[in-house]
Amino acid sequence: MKTDEQIFGEAHAAAKNGASRYCMVLSGRGPSLERTQKLASLIKGVKDKYPVEVCLSVGLIDDNKAQILADAGLDKLNHNLNTSERMYKDVCTTHTYQDRINTILSAKKAGMSSCSGLIVGMNETTDDIIDVAMKLRELEVPSIPVNFLIPIEGNPMYSDHSLTPEKCLRALCLLRLINPSAEIRAAAGREGHLKALQPLAFWPANSLFVDGYLTTRGSDMTNTYRMIREAGFEVEGNALYESEGGDEQAYRVDDTSLPILKPEVSRQGSCPQ
């Protein structure tokens, strides 16, 4: 586990760069009571220091642990359903679909908001995507990350070769139509699967992740914010981000570190004919 200083440093950087929410993730089936209390202390520390919401992903928790986290001020508990109940046994064998639903219900019972979504591209059918979207609606989940499977060498589930930019956009639109009042979040894999159509995701989605994911790299904040603004949208930011002035916009052609003029063009004399 990272040190307190590392976590607070990352939270400060996230706030300064305009993030409205700072997410912490703990690997494993679920936290012990002692680890839950430690996480509660960190959550309170981040909330006291920085103007951001805190989201936590820690695996399976019960009512007691959910209440400890809620009392510390946790804004959102992340626990994805990932796919439909029908397909779940093909994706995970260490726990059941109902275990995941129970965790979401524990968060709700403790008065916390939940963040729960899915992964597209795991050999699911359109009916599977519809089913998980309907389950999220039934659970009244207010924040729904839509992930697109990132092909990582060595993973048992590598790629079903079905993800085109159009299919990814359709998935985001479907989640928006079924969950009209939820925050739809373009999440992992958006960069590599949406490709040049990525700005179109801002119409069905109103939130996204920046600066990478659990184990993989993602687009940085500067380029992501530029893309959002150039698509005609605004970055909400936070008080610290606004006081720092946000980021600059400038003319660019791909690599902004290169000069605008071609190397063979002289900077002196008349313009080329």
Q: Per-residue pLDDT for the chain (273 aa), expressed as one digit of tens each?
A: 899 999 999 999 988 888 888 999 988 899 999 999 999 999 999 999 999 999 999 999 999 999 999 999 999 999 999 999 999 999 999 999 999 999 999 999 999 999 999 999 999 999 999 999 999 999 999 999 999 999 998 888 888 999 999 999 999 999 999 999 999 999 999 999 999 999 999 999 999 888 778 788 888 888 888 899 899 998 887 777 665 555 555 666 665 666 767 777 755 555 555
Task: Select from 131, 210, 143 the least CA-distant residue to 174.
Answer: 131
In whole angstroms, give the CA distance from residue 259 to residue 132.
Answer: 49
In whole angstroms, give the CA distance from residue 30 to residue 152.
Answer: 24
Three-class secondary structure of residue 144 per DSSP: strand
pTM to 2 decimals?
Answer: 0.85
Domains 1-82+95-116 and 117-234 alike in fold: yes
For the residues of 176-219, what is the DSSP string, one character each?
HHHSTTSEEEE-TTHHHHHGGGGGGGGTT--EE--S--SSS---
Query: Under a CB-based contact definition with an 8 Å cutoff, are residues 22 and 15 in contact?
Result: yes
Q: Cβ neighbours of residue 12 under 8 Å, at least 6 residues apart? A: 49, 50
The CATH number of domain 1-82+95-116, selected from 3.20.20.70, 3.30.70.270, 3.40.50.10950, 3.55.50.30: 3.20.20.70
Each residue's pLDDT tens digit, 60-82: 999 999 999 999 999 999 999 99
Each residue's pLDDT tens digit, 121-174: 999 999 999 999 999 999 999 999 999 999 998 888 888 999 999 999 999 999
**Helix (H), strand (E) counts: the chain:** 10, 8
CATH of domain 117-234: 3.20.20.70
Query: Under a CB-based contact definition with an 8 Å cutoff, are residues 211 and 220 in contact?
Result: yes
Task: Bin 189: left if φ > 0, else alpha if -120 < ψ < 50, else beta.
Answer: left
Hey, where are the domains in the chain? Answer: 1-82+95-116, 117-234
